[in-house]
Amino acid sequence: MNYNFREIEAKWQRIWREDQTFRAAADEKRPKYYCLEMFPYPSGSGLHVGHLKNYVPTDAFCRFKSMQGYNVLHPMGWDAFGQPAENEAIRRNRNPRAMVPEYAAAYRETLVQAGCSYDWQREINSSLPEYYKWTQWMFLLLHRQGLAYRATAPINWCPACKTGLANEEVRDGRCWRCDAPVEKKPMPQWFFRITAYADRLLADLEKLDWSEGMKEMQRDWIGRSEGAEVDFAVAGSRESIRVFTTRPDTLFGATFIVLAPEHPLVPVVTSAERRSEVEAYVRKAQGESEIDRLSAERAKTGVFTGAGAVNPVNGETIPVWIADYVLMGYGTGAIMCVPGHDERDFAFARKFGLPVLQVVSRDGSCYDLQAAEPAEGIAVNSGRWSGLPTAEFTKAVTAWLQEKGLGRPTVNYRLRDWLISRQRYWGAPIPIVHCPACGEVPVPEAQLPVLLPDVENYHPTGTGESPLAAIPEFVRTVCPKCSGPARRETDTMGGYACSSWYFLRFTDPGNAKAFASRQALDYWLPVDQYTGGIEHARSHLLYARFWTKVLFDEGLLGFEEPFLNLRNQGSLLALTPGRRPRAQEEGREDEKIIDWVVLKHDEREKYPADQIIWRWARMSKSKGNVVTPEDIIGRFGADSLRVYEMFVAPFEDNVQWSEEGIQGSHRFVARAWRWLQAARPLYRQDWRDSLPAEFSPEAGYAAAPTNSIEQGAKGGPAECRVRRKLHQTLQKVGAQIESFQFNTALAAIMELLNAIYAYAPLEKESLPPASDAAIVSELAETLVLLLAPFAPHLAEESWQQLGFATTVYRAPWPAFNPAVAASDSVNVMVQVNGKIRDKVIVPLDCDEETVKAEALRSAKTRQSIEGKQVLKMIFVKNKMLSIVCK
RNA sequence: GCCGAGGUGGUGUAAUUGGUAGACACGCAAGCUUGAGGUGCUUGUGGGCAUUUGCCUGUAGGGGUUCGAGUCCCCUCCUCGGCACCA
């Protein structure tokens, strides 16, 4: 009777492991279902209850799919290469090579304890040679396709992590891992040409069943804009400045040109007398951090180059300036400025006394512009195009420019190429050899993997070189082409390279001949259900889509989008101690710390308690606010924790973690257990054959006399009511798990359990003697099946107790019987002039005349319409009778 | 500023196509049981008035459509997430 969850949970975790219950193997007889969670990177010392906010519901979903008859692939692995793991190793003064397996083991242990049904035979670790061999192989594939290239460019440099970062790894001008302000540093680096796929990455979003917010984030990041390139001849020179504009209709209003400080034409066009000032400005701009440079609402700065440029539409010469608000990386790095119709240009013109000209009008007339008017309208002051609406003008002038060879329509993307080089130790070495004679030579496939050497010092050097550069045995090699002496590339790949294809490897993790066999890929992929944090909206999800498309183009995959369906779990928030920032920390542009700083571990003890400010913050090891599952599991059991994590809020929502509610979930689980124990003596597996006829709809119970109006339609005998509730619950729960509404699915099961207790309450740990064995059997058996996705240990133990020899996850998810689930009577509301005054209980699908008659017989209804004239009645079957009167 | 998601009891939250607002839990209160380290059961619990039946009011605020609005439309306010000098 006692609910000994410790014993039960340990027992089933052992059986699942020994029997390999969740092992997935290709099986043509069953439809496959690939359900995947984003694999975690090992940082901090373990998984916390926040991680389980994703893993537990997704696990319930997998168990449900398995009961539905799907051949479920549910794998887990470790995103073990990259900065998070390496930073953690440095912090703990451990070698990542030794640390990562320990962390992985601890993570695995926690997931096992939480009762998650992974196929551990397929566990992968991206930092092992058998895995990163194929990461390197894919690099070479990209290289062969011209999609991996080396270039010297100003990159995002994190001075704290001492490495380059991709744009996607920079948040608010800060490093994604350590929050240090990012600098610009020109360096030779490896890039992946993701921009070549910008249009497809954008267009194929339409095919995906992702949240609108998620798709919008990707659209924003790709940032497509249509416009035109226009060439402005530099006065007195053969050079011309190419600008990109989305508003070629405002060409007549261009009163100056601005180049980005890094623009190659700057030194060329600058006049001798302006040179020193221009050079000083360029130097200053280079030294500025991304944060400074990108902070909005910042006063405009810039200098005049002394040059002039000729506007192709009217032949007028306008001055050429440089300013840091123009970015070299976007468009052509040069803009034509139309202060009349662009706010930034307006601010710049005001500051430097440049002319403002109106060329677009709301109504076709000219008026004084008090501010920039960026809206579309009717062209004015635009020569022969005056009077045209914006859209037409844009078309006409673009065509004219193209004809004259002065411009052309263009599409621009905000997306930049993906910087993959890291000057760090803990990553997959880039498989390239630099040969003085042959240049850049890819390592032949047969020589893969290029092993990451085991070293003493793996710390970043800070010189801009990878620690690998300091290992002569690694660097010195021979050229695969000419066999002459050569040196290896010493940069490693950023962690996102590993996570861009891991979902492929899970289908065939042991394959030594290919990243996965085509057969396995074709059978399992694409991923049917993907879950993970929204923080990967731009980075990982964009990269993985890009690699998939590359592999598809190469003919290696039969699909173009890896994750058809994506759901983002909400986070758990924990009450976190913080403090007001100190004087030297104030005034920073970063809003996140403007009035609150998380107290560091060592500060927490010393800080005066009355000055601590508590706030809800996302659980993370770095904030020191995590709750570990082991503790909760020890006190309440894994099944209770699972139920709580799913019941507390919708999957997608953030939740403020509190332990108050877990008691309620535990109460529910234990209550189910107690009833099932009491039901055992009555249980018989052949209950279907012995179900009393009067309790089944086939025997016509729906027409029983209790159903009539006269009887007040209590809904039939108790047996019928509890069966109805059971089958209604089945219908609800199935649909709700399918749509990831675990919280309401659990609420429905709780309702059912309440109904079961009302039908057969426990008396001294047993059921009432008069209980019908067949009904009790149906209730017990079905309850176990309903609970199986949520409380798996309890379900397996109960299933075994009922006499079943095989796992409950091979049992079919119970089908609901619509005839049993159907209500025999309904409440029909009686509304008088829009207010509910009464209700009548009538048989299901009762016709209008009967309901009317029934309603008018009721004293309450008659009282409400007394002395009034009934104008009309509106009848909605099974729902409402609305009486309008005066 | 732009884009996206939201705003419902003391709390977490629930309400197919507009049709009984607050299911299910937490908390709280009372009672019974148990026994006394988070036990179980029953009842009550949006607000106000009346307390036997009842009446009024209520889903951020304001307007609208409708027999009927948490749900649809318009405006305002607020919260969260993302983007932001992108030409």
Q: What is the CATH number of the domain that holds A538?
A: 3.40.50.620
Please answer whether residues A529 and A70 qualify as being in contact, where contact means their C-beta atoms are separated by less than 8 angstroms.
no
Which CATH number characterizes residue A764's domain?
Answer: 1.10.730.10
Same domain, residue pair A278 and A406: yes
DSSP 3-state helix, strand, coil percentages of chain A (rounded to 5)? 40, 20, 40
CB atoms within 10 A of CB A468: 24
Same domain, residue pair A830 and A774: no
| CA of A660: nucleotide with nearest C1' | B26
Same domain, residue pair A392 and A250: yes
| CA of A636: nucleotide with nearest C1' | B38
Please answer whether residues A490 and A477 qualify as being in contact, where contact means their C-beta atoms are separated by less than 8 angstroms.
no
Q: Which nucleotides of B are covered by protein (CB under 7 A)?
A: 3-5, 12-15, 19-21, 23-27, 38-42, 55-56, 67-69, 80-87
8-state DSSP, A356: -
The packing angle between helices A662-679 and A773-787, to 10°, is 140
Model confidence over A342-369: pLDDT tens digits? 988 999 999 999 999 999 988 888 888 8
Model confidence over A120-177: pLDDT tens digits? 999 999 999 999 999 999 999 999 999 999 998 888 888 888 888 888 888 777 788 7
> Which residue has the least CA–C1' distance to nucleotide B6?
A653
Terminal Cα distance for chain A, rounded: 64
Distance of CA A784 to the CA centre of its chain: 33
**Average pLDDT score, chain A:** 88
Q: What is the CA A702 to C1' B17 distance in angstroms?
A: 27
> Which residue has the least CA–C1' distance to nucleotide B42?
A758
> Which residue has the least CA–C1' distance to nucleotide B84?
A296
Q: What is the CA A747 to C1' B45 distance in angstroms?
A: 20
Q: What is the CA A364 to C1' B62 distance in angstroms?
A: 37
Report whether pLDDT(A715) > 70. Answer: no
Q: What is the mean pLDDT of residues A752-757?
A: 93
* Bond preceding residue A526 cis, omega within 30 of 0: yes
Same domain, residue pair A326 and A301: yes
CB crowding A482-495: b at 16 or more within 10 Å, else e:
eeeebbbbbbbbbb
* Bond preceding residue A449 cis, omega within 30 of 0: yes
| CA of A173: nucleotide with nearest C1' | B84
Q: What is the CA A515 to C1' B70 distance in angstroms?
A: 52
Q: What is the CA A17 to C1' B20 distance in angstroms?
A: 50
Q: Is residue A599 part of a domain?
A: no
Model confidence over A256-304: pLDDT tens digits? 999 999 899 999 999 999 999 999 999 888 776 666 665 556 788 899 9
Report whether pLDDT(A592) > 50. Answer: no
> Which residue has the least CA–C1' distance to nucleotide B39?
A667
Q: Is residue A751 part of a domain?
A: yes
Beta-sheet pairing, A163-165 with A225-234: unpaired
Same domain, residue pair A348 and A233: yes
Q: Which domain holds residue A802?
A: 660-821
Which CATH number characterizes residue A858's domain?
Answer: 3.10.20.590
Tokens of A274: 């302006």
Q: What is the CA A737 to C1' B44 distance in angstroms?
A: 33
Same domain, residue pair A829 and A817: no
Tokens of A358: 């109106």
Confidence of residue A456 (pLDDT cuts 50, 70, 90): confident
Beta strands in A451-601 (DSSP E): 476-478, 485-488, 492-493, 529-532, 566-568, 572-579, 597-598
Please answer whether residues A230 and A242 qualify as being in contact, where contact means their C-beta atoms are separated by less than 8 angstroms.
yes
Q: Is residue A573 part of a domain?
A: no
Q: What is the CA A372 to C1' B62 distance in angstroms?
A: 33
Confidence of residue A733 (pLDDT cuts 50, 70, 90): very high
Q: What is the CA A221 to C1' B83 distance in angstroms?
A: 8
Same domain, residue pair A769 and A797: yes
Q: What is the CA A747 to C1' B22 distance in angstroms?
A: 14
Q: What is the CA A349 to C1' B14 distance in angstroms?
A: 56
pLDDT at A380: 93
| CA of A348: nucleotide with nearest C1' | B85
Beta-sheet pairing, A32-37 with A71-73: parallel
Q: What is the CA A22 to C1' B59 distance in angstroms?
A: 45
Model confidence over A470-491: pLDDT tens digits? 999 999 999 999 999 999 999 9
Q: Is residue A431 part of a domain?
A: yes
Note the helical H segments in A554-696: 601-606, 629-636, 638-647, 662-679, 687-690
- Output the DSSP codes for A232-251: EEETTSS-EEEEEES-GGGG
Q: What is the CA A875 to C1' B19 distance in angstroms?
A: 10
> Which residue has the least CA–C1' distance to nucleotide B26?
A661
Integer Cα distance of A426 and A457 in angstroms = 11
Distance of CA A608 to the CA centre of its chain: 39
**Rounded to whole angstroms, what are the CA distances from A407 to A397, A450, A608?**
9, 48, 66
Q: In degrees to the nearest 10, what's the CA dihedral of A495, A566, A569, A219?
A: 70
Q: Is residue A750 part of a domain?
A: yes
pLDDT at A829: 86
Percent pLDDT > 70 in chain A is: 93
Report whether pLDDT(A589) > 60. Answer: no
Return the ∠ at Cα A804 (arms to A66 and A19), rounded to 5°.
Answer: 60
pLDDT at A688: 86
Q: What is the CA A715 to C1' B54 distance in angstroms?
A: 27
| CA of A757: nucleotide with nearest C1' | B41
Q: Per residue, what are the HEC states of A436-476?
A: CCCEEEECCHHHCCCCCCCCCCCCCCCCCCCHHHHCHHHHE
Q: Is residue A371 part of a domain?
A: yes
| CA of A570: nucleotide with nearest C1' | B81
> Which residue has the least CA–C1' distance to nucleotide B33?
A764
Note the helical H segments in A760-873: 773-787, 792-801, 818-821, 848-857, 859-865
What SS3 state is found at A565? strand
Q: Exposed (0-12), middle (13-18) or buried (19+): which is A532, by Cβ within 10 Å?
A: buried
pLDDT at A289: 63
| CA of A753: nucleotide with nearest C1' | B24
CB atoms within 10 A of CB A100: 25
Q: What is the mean pLDDT of residues A453-464?
A: 86
Distance of CA A152 to the CA centre of its chain: 32
Model confidence over A800-835: pLDDT tens digits? 999 999 999 999 999 988 888 887 778 888 888 888
| Type of residue found at A44 | G
| CA of A343: nucleotide with nearest C1' | B85
Tokens of A450: 């290029």
| CA of A227: nucleotide with nearest C1' | B87
Report whether pLDDT(A713) > 70. Answer: no
Residue with tokens 């300036």: A321
Please answer whether residues A361 and A377 qualify as being in contact, where contact means their C-beta atoms are separated by less than 8 angstroms.
yes
Same domain, residue pair A776 and A861: no
Please answer whether residues A458 and A447 qualify as being in contact, where contact means their C-beta atoms are separated by less than 8 angstroms.
no
Q: What is the CA A601 to C1' B37 distance in angstroms?
A: 31
Tokens of A460: 């970043």
Same domain, residue pair A236 and A355: yes
Q: Which of A258, A246, A257, A309 is nearest to A285 (CA)?
A: A258
| CA of A214: nucleotide with nearest C1' | B4
Confidence of residue A711 (pLDDT cuts 50, 70, 90): very low
Q: What is the CA A765 to C1' B33 distance in angstroms?
A: 14
Last residue of a domain, one of A453, A480, A495: A495
> Which residue has the least CA–C1' distance to nucleotide B80?
A654
Report whether pLDDT(A706) > 60. Answer: no
| CA of A668: nucleotide with nearest C1' | B25
| CA of A883: nucleotide with nearest C1' | B67
| CA of A327: nucleotide with nearest C1' | B86
Last residue of a domain, one of A821, A842, A857: A821
| CA of A879: nucleotide with nearest C1' | B19
| CA of A839: nucleotide with nearest C1' | B20
Same domain, residue pair A249 and A390: yes
Same domain, residue pair A248 and A397: yes
What was the ipTM of the complex prediction? Answer: 0.94
| CA of A634: nucleotide with nearest C1' | B38
Distance of CA A489 to the CA centre of its chain: 34
What SS3 state is found at A415? coil
Tokens of A846: 């009762």
Length of chain A (residues): 886
Report whether pLDDT(A546) > 60. Answer: yes
Same domain, residue pair A229 and A266: yes
pLDDT at A584: 47
Q: Exposed (0-12), middle (13-18) or buried (19+): which is A792, by Cβ within 10 Å?
A: buried
Q: Is residue A490 part of a domain?
A: yes
pLDDT at A358: 94
Q: Is residue A214 part of a domain?
A: no
Model confidence over A651-705: pLDDT tens digits? 999 888 888 889 999 999 999 999 999 999 999 999 888 777 666 655 444 444 3
Q: What is the CA A636 to C1' B37 distance in angstroms?
A: 15
> Which residue has the least CA–C1' distance to nucleotide B12?
A648
Report whether pLDDT(A241) > 50. Answer: yes
Maximum distance among all Cα pairs of chain A, rounded to whole angstroms: 109
Please answer whether residues A196 and A546 qualify as being in contact, where contact means their C-beta atoms are separated by less than 8 angstroms.
no
What SS3 state is found at A161? coil
Helix (H) or strand (E) run with residue A541 in it: helix A539-553
CB atoms within 10 A of CB A23: 12
Q: What is the CA A763 to C1' B32 distance in angstroms?
A: 15
Q: What is the CA A194 to C1' B1 distance in angstroms?
A: 29
Return the ∠ at Cα A376 (arms to A370 and A377), rounded to 5°.
Answer: 85
Residue with tokens 């109805």: A724
Last residue of a domain, one of A370, A395, A412: A412
Per mean pLDDT, which range of A240-249, A524-533, A714-723 is the poorest?
A: A714-723
Q: What is the CA A642 to C1' B26 distance in angstroms?
A: 17
pLDDT at A696: 62
Q: What is the CA A657 to C1' B28 distance in angstroms?
A: 21
Please answer whether residues A475 and A429 qualify as being in contact, where contact means their C-beta atoms are separated by less than 8 angstroms.
no
Total number of domains constituting chain A: 5
pLDDT at A586: 44
The packing angle between helices A629-636 and A662-679, to 10°, is 40
